[in-house]
Structure 1
Amino acid sequence: MSFEAWMPLPLPKQLVVFGLGDWSCYSPDTSIAVDVLVTAGVTPQRVGMLEPARRSLVWEGDWRTDIFMASLKEMDKGNSVKLVLSVNGRLLRGVSSSTPAHPFTVPETTQSPVLPADDMTLFQDLEDPTIVKNQSSDVAAGVPRPGRKDVHPALRTLAVPCALKPPSDKVEPSEAWRKSPVCPKKPRKVLFEPTASERDLGEEGSWGVLSDCSQPCTLPSLVSPSPRWCHAMCLSDQGTTILIGGQGVDQKSCKDALWKLEIDSDFWFPVDFQLQNATPLGLYGHTATYDPDTKRIYIFGGIREDKDYSNIYILDTVTWKWLLVVAKGKVPVLTYHSATIYRKELFVFGGTLPRKASLTVGPCSNVLYVFNPEHEIWYQPISEGEKPLPRLGHSATLLKNKILIFGGRRTSLYLSDMHILD
């Protein structure tokens, strides 16, 4: 008898294995061998043994050469390896369960000092009090059920902190962000419900031009981006996301074009006043791609108020300065394309010509363009194999040294094919 569990690659430097469950169904001399199996043709590597008196183990060591080399091949294929637990012993009972007899204790959540209990007014009207009253008394009051010692605590409302509180006094724009007091975190419920414009869009069954959005697309908060679509968003580091551009109500470009989201603290910050020079005007349908090596964001394509579609804007997230690049070579003019960074070069695929009518489908492209920031030049690499169909609105994801292109639209045809560029 054996149990298996998938283990992601690369192979870890340490392993911690717990043998939970009812061991009384096995003979007293039973042991469980823990092995790592990469492929069927390679002998598994033993990492330890579990016994009734020793139900956990910590392994730290070196992997065999054949195991390590085989794992690299499996990792290139996108596969995982197996953690195999082989039972060495006799089964005393015909029916056994690995589920623990008693549920694990979940500590009761206490009230946080930064989440005061009396600050429950924000969006409180979104919740029907009658629904809360009709909940089970065992869950609502946290009363334990008969015969059970440990139960999960009562369900609680998810608390999401609000953003910055706007300053009441007049402060210079450059100092507003630093002097604005942070208001206490308050609970906020987020509703995932289609707006009127989204229902209209779904009934039409096509893209076309969006009708006027008379209702706000998001719940209001003290400081947050205005409702928008056709924007671009990318990570600038592990804890920060940058929001750039977009089109808002009445099909007008958003005036608050640039925002920074601190993911851990859930705070939105307007970034416009931090910048040292002018920002690009009225962007939507563009791409924003972050290069972790240079810590720069490349903004390319889309529809702009200045109608200068071919230039590249580079935002340095260290100095917060814009750099306008007038590139050389055969410069593409695209919108609703895809862009990825690979080895400090920007790979752009697909898209269509910029049009003022948002998402009005025109002739699409299936040409691959590469921008080299060092020489500020565009070029078209020589590629082999069958090209994907021309498309727009697709996705392109970099996986190691491969770009995966999926989906998109071509005139009235919606695509679901996958292409890989090595």
Structure 2
Amino acid sequence: MTTLTLIDADGGLTAVPLAEAPAHTKPRHPLTSRVAYAAAHVVPKPFADNTPGAPAEIDWDATLAFRHHVWSWGLGVADAMDTAQRNMGLDTAATRELISRSAAEAASVGGALVVGVNTDHIADEVISLEQVIDAYKEQLHLTEDAGAGVVLMASRHLARAARTPDDYRRVYREVLAAAGRPVVLHWLGTAFDPSLAGYFGSADTDAAAATLLQIIEYNRDKVSGVKMSLLDAGAEVAVREQLPESARMFTGDDFHYVGLIEGDERGHSDALLGAFAALAPSASAAIQALDRGDVAAYRDILGPTEALSQQVFAAPTYYYKTGVAFLSWLNGHQAAFQMVGGLHAARSLPHLSEIVRRANASGALERPELAAARWHSMLAVNGIDFATAKPVEESAEKSAEKSAEAEATDAAESVGLLA
């Protein structure tokens, strides 16, 4: 039996059985019951200067091949968003080339694609509301000219410049008026980006949601949906139930997506998730089950992945990109565990080990033998002899033996049999 060595926070090693890859199959027809996008990451050249502050040098073959992997499972790709390290290493030149290349690849296979539009080509400084509007429009036009759909991302510049909810209403009104077709709005919470505190004009979620809903209502013909990434299922459902029929709710809640996507008699959320970049086969298989009306199978497939996603997105949540790239490497979608800006060093070895454990338990390892070999090689590079790990069953037996010995010693001491 092949085993998988895991390491805990104290350096202790255990070995668990390596699970077989689930027998998921790619869809023969488009998915129909839910609209689902995987927010994809970027793969840098492994020999590039992938250090903090260095320009992004992208391995375009691997990066685009990953997008084809997502499309092959019937999912759409959400590109050039926070998962692709916007505002965390992906510079303007690389962002624009990514949008152009991804749009061309999507057109070549008929793949669904939306990309992030932001203001991040402007230096990280305070600018006026007029400059925020112009910056948004510049990226909006470049994206539409490339042929991609638009996700209007939350802007750090707008968060700094805006003073009232009216400022948000004005900026979005003017930017949306310039859009050639309906766009998806994005509400990104502070767990993902602390600089976005008070977005939509208030730190109170209900008040901010009211402003967001007003923006959608006043611009119905220009808003096709909203992606909420607050990690607050209750807030998402509350907004979802107030949306006009013309707008979809795309869950960005990587902690609670199983129930939100399943929904209830009052409605459901569609999906635009960084988690789905790491879970494309499972996400596809689960939605295929919903297409067949098999809710139990949906829960069986997707339910176990939520614990994995919660580990990937554990605080500090903005380092979740490291887990997405790590799983991509384990599953053979990139040659090296490298990230733009050195972000591959943002998580500890025990944290990554727990990702391995949960991926193994949830069917997220697409090629288990390869994943085990790569993970064990990483342990070896870090000076850890993975072959010395004790199987979980044996460790439990040893623990029981030690407990029995301790109890016997305590009993002997209590009757004076030991000196």
Q: Does the alignment reach a TM-score above 0.5?
A: no
- The structure where helix makes up a greater share of residues is 2
Bigger radius of gyration, 1 or 2? 1
- The structure where strand makes up a greater share of residues is 1
TM-score where L is the length of structure 1: 0.22
TM-score where L is the length of structure 2: 0.22
Answer 1 or 2: higher relative contact order, Cα 8 Å, separation at least 6: 2
